Amino acid sequence: MTEEREIIIRPGMGALHYWRDIWRYRELFFFLAWRDILVRYKQTAIGIAWSVIRPLATMLVFTVVFGKLAKLPSNGVPYPVMVYAAMLPWQFFANSLTESSNSLIDNANLLTKVYFPRLIVPAGSVIVSLVDFLISFVILGGLMAWYRCLPDMKIMLLPLFLIMAFFASFGAGLWLAALNVKYRDFRYVVPFLVQFGLYISPVGFSSAIVPEKWRFFYYLNPMVGVIDGFRWAILGDAFPVNWVGFWLSVLLVLLIFAGGVLYFRRMERSFADVV
């Protein structure tokens, strides 16, 4: 850290060395994520249990409403397992979105007092949600053992879908984080988005029941591809993936992510002045 280096500060020069700076500040990134995780489990009375109870409760409700009352098909897989396998990526996405959209505001005191690449703040929030995801994943293991449905080799592909979920969450999170700094009423938009998204994504039902004529619009929701991928990797061929729709989702995820990074970078310069 003692190497001689020259910093030039000039209007509009924020971009220079940005990615190198991110690398240089990687430790801060880990510390911020570590802080958030630590604080999270220190502050809440039930701590870790919280990240278990939430998806379980939602799963229960969905199983009763969609599986028992509406009697939607579950292709031979126990309904709770089908819901929970989709619940995982969705919770990850929803948590990341909520956390990262507030992350800059929550860390306003840091933004106005210290320099670091601002990108690491929302990135840290996504990491925290990832920890929750991993905890919930263990529950899935237990649930599948209970219902005796074993995954096949396709589960090896799960990390790929997780990466896709990560980029979707991070990309959307970047958009919302930056927008939230500029327009504070976005904090009211986010919970609505999350709630709305839960019903247009195949969490409580499977993609197979979506009518053909709506398919195109249905797949415009990038989480559809992610969730379908998760189900396919975990539960096997009972839930075939619509690959055209899937690649459309992938494309959208990439667009959202790239757009998110660009927009965030553009807004970043003024964060300290407006936050």
The residue ranges that bind other proteins (CB under 8 A) are 1-2, 4-14, 27-28, 31, 35, 38-39, 42-43, 109-116, 182-186, 269-270, 272-274
Distance in angstroms (rounded) separating the CA atoms of residues 155 and 137: 13
Comparing CB distances to other proteins, the nearer of 42 and 148 is 42
Which residue, 238 or 272, has its beta carbon nearer to other proteins?
272
Q: Which is nearer to other proteins, 30 or 147 (CB)?
A: 30
Of 274, 273, 268, the closest CA to residue 116 belongs to 268
Q: How far is the CB of 18 from other proteins (least distance, A)?
A: 11
Orientation angle between helical segments 222-235 and 79-106, nearest 10 degrees: 140
Closest CA to 202 of 77, 83, 92: 83
Closest separation in Å from C-beta 252 to other proteins: 23
Q: How far is the CB of 238 from other proteins (least distance, A)?
A: 43
Which is nearer to other proteins, 8 or 45 (by Cβ)?
8
Nearer to other proteins, 45 or 69 (CB): 45
- The residue type found at 275 is V
Q: Any long-range contacts for 157-163 (C-beta under 8 Å, 24+ apart)?
A: 157/229, 157/233, 158/230, 158/233, 158/234, 160/229, 161/89, 161/226, 161/229, 161/230, 161/233, 162/89, 162/133
- What's the closest the beta carbon of residue 160 comes to other proteins, in angstroms? 32
Positions of E strands within 68-128? none
3-class SS of residue 2: coil
Tokens coding 74:
């579950």
Measured distance CA(198)–CA(92) in Å, rounded: 12
Q: Which is nearer to other proteins, 35 or 68 (CB)?
A: 35
Q: How far is the CB of 12 from other proteins (least distance, A)?
A: 7
Smallest distance from other proteins to CB 32, Å? 8
